[in-house]
Each structure stands twice: as structure tokens, then as C-alpha cells.
Structure 1
Amino acid sequence: MAVGEYPFPVMPPVEGVSIGIAAAGIKKADRNDVLLFSLCEGASVAGVFTQNTFCAAPIKICREHLQLARPRLLVVNSGNANACTGSSGRANALSVCDQVASQYGLSAAEVLPFSTGVIGEPLPVGKINAVVPALVQSAQEDNWQLAARAIMTTDTRPKGATRQIEIDGTTVTVNGIAKGAGMINPNMATMLGFIATDVAIDQTVLQGLVREAAGLSFNRITIDGDTSTNDACMVMASGKAGNKLIADPHSDSYAALKAAVNEVCIELAQMIVADGEGATKFVTIDVKGGASHDECLKVAYAVAHSPLIKTALFASDPNWGRIVAAIGYAGVENLDDTLVRVHLNDVLIVENGGRAESYTEEQGQKVMSGERIGIHIDLGRGDCSERLWTTDLSYEYVRINADYRT
């Protein structure tokens, strides 16, 4: 079950970035479940990671390796999170790094590992290491759709986005893939996002770029309020486009690249929401008129995380009282309820501290019966605004997560 149609795009190759795929049989036989990004010498890599205290062994190693060396290889497995696995989990992740690095004559510190899947189960390191030669042999620049499928867990479809722009008179490509359908709640700086571009960009500037892009996209989605142990969003830049090195975050070149990367990340983030486990609705929550961005986010998350609102969305029930209740308990100090206005799409439902005189149940029902719903809230106390994307909560979500390990 998923909302809308998101066909996988035709993605041009990114020079300097090769992708290998293999089937290790981690959870299911004969399914591609291991992915390898191989980067050319001189490439830059930056990323943001989950803030979950029980972050997985691969995440801890990624953070360490990024401080030790310039990454050349990113290896990803699905079907097993290698999280909460203690010292053996770390040893297993490092074993995979060693095995992959040896194929290229590199050090293990030049490898970044990623895992996604069930928490608490030992990583089947033997199965993964056995297919490393196949990963290397299958590597090519146009494996993007296969890569997107290899990292899927409860996803119902692969997620990809692409943009091409002109910088310094040369064409620059930005490709991105992501996985995620459940355990989605922004707290990064179970989703993984990998963005690749051929642009030449300074490493420090690239880190700022990925942090900002994640803040506008993957950190603005929530499906169930659970923050994964394995979240990561990585941006790889090969430097092969032929543009002048982007070293100034205030330059026109940086602005053009930032716009393209932001668009790719937002598109991928919205695909994750639309493919939320059991989702039947795609919901945009806009909060404006706040005295601060923080209070706008408080209100938006209170609405997005409310089980009562999410189940009403699933039932197509315009039970607007649940929305105002969430606004009221969001923790905004000295909020004047008589100034708050709430719309469902373009239908005004609440103003002056109560139901709008123009509102009818038929209007609300029509909005709530659609697949795409906008909840627009004006707090009437300032100029700040924020936006989140979320889903409803369905019977299917419960079934998927009740049966996840069976």
C-alpha cells in the first residue's frame, strides 16, 4: 500500500561513481541486498547521521572513518541493522570494511559501512564477505535503480530522484536514492539516503550543504515518531564535472548546486512519506504565524504524531477537534486560541476560538476523502513558519510491524 505514483526516473550516470550489487541472502534468498559505491580518487563525501543513543555499529564506524581518511567506498546491506549487537557487531562491520578495502588495495578506514533491517540480530558477515567479489565485478555507473531496490526493507517501491544543472558552463548531475517506510522520525542532524554528484566542491562546504539539505527534507518527515538506530544521509561528490572548485558557500555556483540537492532530497523525503508503511494519505502540515520556528515545529509535530489525528485521517473523518487539541498541548506558551486559524486544504474550519461559521461537515469530508491532505495552521502571533510531511495510521501499519520478524 502506498500513496500516488512515483515511477523510478531515468538517471544519468555520475562520472566517478560506480555501483555494484549482489545477493547475499541476508533475509531472503535470491534478492539483491548488498550495495557498493566506489568513488574515484579525490572524491569528497559528507553526511549526517541518526542521533539515537543506540546508534548501530556501522554508524559509529562511519563517524570514526570520516575523521581518519577520505572515503573511497560505501558498502550497504539490507535485511540486518547490525544495531545493539555489542562488540561483535563492531567487529563484523569492520570485517566487511576490510574485505571490501582489500579488493581495491585500500585501507579499511577508506570504507564507510551502512546497514538497515532488524535490530539486535548478529550481522551474517560471512554471507556479505562472500559476495564482495561479485560487488566489485558488477560495478558500473548506471546501476541506480538496482541500487535503490537493494536497500529496500519494508519499502514497496524503489525511490530515486535526479537533476541536471549548469555550473561554469558545464552540466552537473545530481542523483539520489533513499529507502524508508517505517521507523521514520527526523532526528539526524529506518532511513538511508545516498546522493551523488560529479561537481567539484570543497569538503567543508559539502558538509554544510548536506546538513542544510537534510534539515529541509529528511528532517521534516515523520511516519510513526520512531527514530531509527541506523539513519544516515550521505552526499558524494566525484569532482569530475569540470567546474571550478566550489569553495564559497555564498557563490552563485553553490546556490545553484544547493537548489538541485535540496530538490532531490525533498523529493526523496516525500517519496518516503508516500510509501509509509500502510499509508493511504499523504499529509502536508504547514504552521505559520509563529513567534519562533521552534514553536511552529512543536505544533506541527504534535499534530503529525497524534494517533487520534492519524487514525482520523485513515478513516477520512474530519474530526477537527483532535487537531485543535494537539495544537493546545504542543507547549506554545501564552498561545491565544482566539487568534488561531486552521484550514483543511482551502477549507477554513477553526477561527475565533471555535468552529468557523462558514464550515460544514460536507466540506471537511470532501477534503479528508482525498489521498493528499493539507493541514494549515496559523498561530497568529509572529512571522515564522515550518512545514512537515506525514501519513495516516492504518490497520496495515499494525500488520506490517506486528509481522516484521516473521
Structure 2
Amino acid sequence: MKVIDGGVTAPKGFLAASTAAGIKYKDRSDMAMIYSTVPCKAAGTFTTNVVKAAPVLYDKKIVTESKSVQAVVVNAGIANACTGAEGFGYCEDTAKKAAAELNIAEDAVLVASTGVIGMQLPIQKLESGIEVMAKELSDTREAAHQAACAIMTTDTISKEVAVTFEAGGKTVTVGGMCKGSGMIHPNMCTMLGFVMTDAAISKELLQEALSADVCDTYNMISVDGDTSTNDTVLLLANGMAENPEITEKNEDYRKFCEALNYVNTEIAKMMAGDGEGATALFEVKVIGAKSKEEAKILSKSVVCSSLTKAAIYGHDANWGRILCALGYSGVEFDPEKVDLVFESAAGSIQIIKNGIAVDYSEEEATRILSEPAVTAIANMNQGNAEATAWGCDLTYDYVKINADYRS
């Protein structure tokens, strides 16, 4: 596998465009379109929130029932959530307009929205934006980047990753983009993710690969404990790499899953590190657990702890908060066997051994915790399983951003 500079246009046959439709923002682009020159197999995973936005309901139906997909239309600023039949109708209107402009079937169009809940979409602005984007579709790196920027809300950076690998003597590419900064919590988190590949792969294995991978990537991040109404990850495969179609779990499937995992992991980490108001990516590795499931529960418990997140913001090695978060996770373990280490680009320092603080330097610990990416490694010393979760520190700016989000 090789990491390359790219996004959703990196795989063969994928084009992108963006525009400023004026949906909510007055000074920036707020719509994006991804288009494949040939029909794609489609897979998707969606929010577990009982309150599901209209685009989630619409896309679940398309992914399940449509034979192929060729385009995705995304808007930022308004979530089209809690909007009833009118909101669902706007999903249909969006798909109908895109289908007409691109000369494809209506059920070959997926839609996604992100932004304020409860507001109706200005459908005329969306339709005008579709007209513009359909004429400006491009396979350039810049088109992909601008599309990634257009779907941002409170994000401070765009999030894109691409890789290549060899399958059946052909070069296969996987490229993705996502948005997410707040209302991010495990179990599909407000995040939108779009991953494109030119791999030839069956729809069944495409869905299986995505469903399995989100458990170790997007479902292992948390910014603020809120699971959104709009969470969506879409994976489209157009087969233009011309590799022998992957129809069984062979070596090519393993390589595809590895590439997909890399893309999803990296953009998931970008979301966690770009949490609203955040100054640091906070990674929690739990090792030595009795099972992977227990390791996941333990790591997510720590990464979701508001007190621990605040300590990371203060560069304070307040290890008691981490041990406490492990303790209320619901997993049974012996606290007198736990070891804890902090790591960053500035070095590594052991904080506790066998559940008790060692003689460490607070100044050294603060220096290590002052980096833009910090890791806490908790060794439970009870088995061989491990898992990693990602989050961010909790800052004053998180409250400021969310206190006036609508205004």
C-alpha cells in the first residue's frame, strides 16, 4: 500500500465540483458534488440515533435498493433533520435535479446534508447549485480539495486521504474526504464521510468491508459525546481499475480492507483532532485487555471523559482521572495491575505502575502533554487484546462555538 496526495478524485473515473449556493454561509462554498463516469456499487453506514435526518433515510433506501449509484450531492449549513415529509421530499427533488443535469437515473443519486437541525432546505438554491456544479465537474486534485472544503461547518481543516495498492496486477486507488468537528461520538458520529474507489468488488463484500471497518475507525472517536442525526459514510466502487472482481475473501480483499482501514482511520483521526475548540488530538490505547471488546469499552471511556479531556487541555498529568474513567467503564479489572504511560513527539513517560504513581517529573510530563498530539497507553495486564480510541481536549472555545452555533 502506498499513501498518495489525493482525495475523492484520486481513483479513476471520479470527478468533483463545489459551489457557493448561499444555503447558510454568505462568504464561502457550501455545496459539493462527486460523480463517477460509470455506475458504481454502493455501500453505506448511518447514524444509530433514533432521530434520523431525511438524507439518512433517503440514502439507506438507495444503498439497499438501487442497482447502482453514480453521484453524491452534499450541502453544508442546514442538516435537513427533523423536517418531516417536506424535508424528505427535498431529498427527492435534489436527486431528481442532479439526475436531470447529469443524465443518470434518479435512484443513482445519493444526498447528504450537515448543519443546523430543524430548518428546511432552500431547495431553489440547491437546484441552482447543482446546475453550476454539473458543468464544472473535474478530476483534478484541486476539485477534490475544494469539494472537501465545501462540506465543512465548524471544521477548521479539510480532511482528505488517498492510497493505492496492487490487486491482480492492477493499481487500485481508494480516496476519501470527510467533515466533522462537533456532535461527534462513537456509533457513527455530525460526520459525513465519502470514500471512492476504482476497485472491482462485489456489492456484498463492499458493504461487509465498510460495516466491519467503521467499528475500528469512526466508531472509536469522540469529541463531545453527542451522536448526530446525520452521520453518514458512503463507499462507492466503480471498477475502473479493471482488477479481477473481488468476490471472495482472498488476498486482494485483504489488501482492499487494509487500504480502506487506512483511509478511514486517518480521516477519523483528523476529525478527532479537529474537534471544536480543540488544541490537541488525544489518543487512548488500551493494551493487555482480556478481549478486544473490553479494550474498546475501556479506551472509549477514557477518551470520552470530560475531566480527562480538560486535563489534556491543561497539559496536566492527572492520571487519577484516567484510572477513574477506566473504573466506571463497566469492565471488570484489577486496578492494582494497571500501568499508564503518556507519549507524544516530545517523548514518553511512565506515570503509574501496578495502579500506583511512580516517581516521575511533573515538568517532564507537562512537556510531553504540551504537544498537538498526545497518547495515553493503559496496560491492563490481564490479556493480549488491545484497541485504540481518539478524541481531543476540552477547551473554553468548545463552549463558545456551541453556545451561539445557530446565531
| TM-score in same-fold range (> 0.5) | yes
Higher strand share: 2
Q: Deviations over 1:341-373 (max 9, x none)?
A: 1112232222233212x3332332232222221
Q: 1:118 maps to what in 2?
A: 116
Percent identity between the two aligned chains: 37
Residue 44, structure 1, aligned to residue 45, structure 2? no
User: Which of 6, 11, 34 is residue 14 of structure 1 equivalent to?
Assistant: 11
Q: Deviations over 1:378-405 (max 9, x none)?
A: 1122221110111100011111111211
Distance in 2 (alpha carbons) for counterparts of 1:75 and 1:369: 40
Residue 206 and residue 10 in structure 1: after superposition, are their counterparts in 2 closer, same or farther (change >3 A)? closer
Which deviates the most, 251-260 or 57-66?
251-260
Q: How does 1:7-406 map to 2 (within 5 A)?
A: 9-10=5-6, 13-69=10-66, 70-142=68-140, 143-188=143-188, 190-249=190-249, 251-333=250-332, 335-345=333-343, 346-356=348-358, 358-406=359-407
Distance in 2 (alpha carbons) for counterparts of 1:126 and 1:208: 37
Distance in 2 (alpha carbons) for counterparts of 1:293 and 1:17: 37
CA contact (8 A) 2:87 2:121 kept: yes
Distance in 1 (alpha carbons) for counterparts of 2:131 and 2:397: 39
Offset at residue 133 of structure 1 (A): 1.4
Q: Deviations over 1:111-157 (max 9, x none)?
A: 21110011111111121012221121011222210110111111112
Residue 178 and residue 38 in structure 1: after superposition, are their counterparts in 2 closer, same or farther (change >3 A)? same
Distance in 2 (alpha carbons) for counterparts of 1:100 and 1:123: 16
Offset at residue 30 of structure 1 (A): 4.7
Distance in 2 (alpha carbons) for counterparts of 1:115 and 1:301: 27
CA contact (8 A) 1:189 1:214 kept: no
Distance in 1 (alpha carbons) for counterparts of 2:163 and 2:244: 19
CA contact (8 A) 1:189 1:215 kept: no
Offset at residue 196 of structure 1 (A): 1.0
CA contact (8 A) 2:72 2:110 kept: yes
SS across alignment from 2:23: coil
Distance in 2 (alpha carbons) for counterparts of 1:14 and 1:321: 47
CA contact (8 A) 2:35 2:71 kept: yes
Distance in 2 (alpha carbons) for counterparts of 1:273 and 1:382: 28
Distance in 1 (alpha carbons) for counterparts of 2:61 and 2:254: 30
Unaligned runs of 5+ in 1: 1-7
CA contact (8 A) 1:37 1:75 kept: yes
Residue 316 and residue 13 in structure 1: after superposition, are their counterparts in 2 closer, same or farther (change >3 A)? closer
The amino acid of 1:246's aligned partner reads I
The amino acid of 1:228's aligned partner reads S
Offset at residue 96 of structure 1 (A): 1.1
Which deviates the most, 57-66 or 336-345?
336-345
Distance in 2 (alpha carbons) for counterparts of 1:236 and 1:352: 48
CA contact (8 A) 2:189 2:227 kept: no
CA contact (8 A) 1:341 1:351 kept: yes
Distance in 2 (alpha carbons) for counterparts of 1:377 and 1:13: 38
Offset at residue 10 of structure 1 (A): 4.6
Offset at residue 48 of structure 1 (A): 0.8
CA contact (8 A) 1:198 1:239 kept: yes
Q: Deviations over 1:311-364 (max 9, x none)?
A: 11111112111111112211123x2111111112232222233212x3332332
Offset at residue 213 of structure 1 (A): 2.6
CA contact (8 A) 1:14 1:141 kept: no
Task: Give the TM-score normalised by the residue count of structure 1.
Answer: 0.93
RMSD: 1.8
Offset at residue 83 of structure 1 (A): 0.6
Residue 123 and residue 36 in structure 1: after superposition, are their counterparts in 2 closer, same or farther (change >3 A)? same
Aligned residues: 396
Distance in 1 (alpha carbons) for counterparts of 2:329 and 2:46: 26
Offset at residue 86 of structure 1 (A): 1.4
Distance in 2 (alpha carbons) for counterparts of 1:169 and 1:260: 16
Distance in 1 (alpha carbons) for counterparts of 2:189 and 2:308: 27
CA contact (8 A) 1:341 1:379 kept: yes
Residue 222 and residue 189 in structure 1: after superposition, are their counterparts in 2 closer, same or farther (change >3 A)? closer
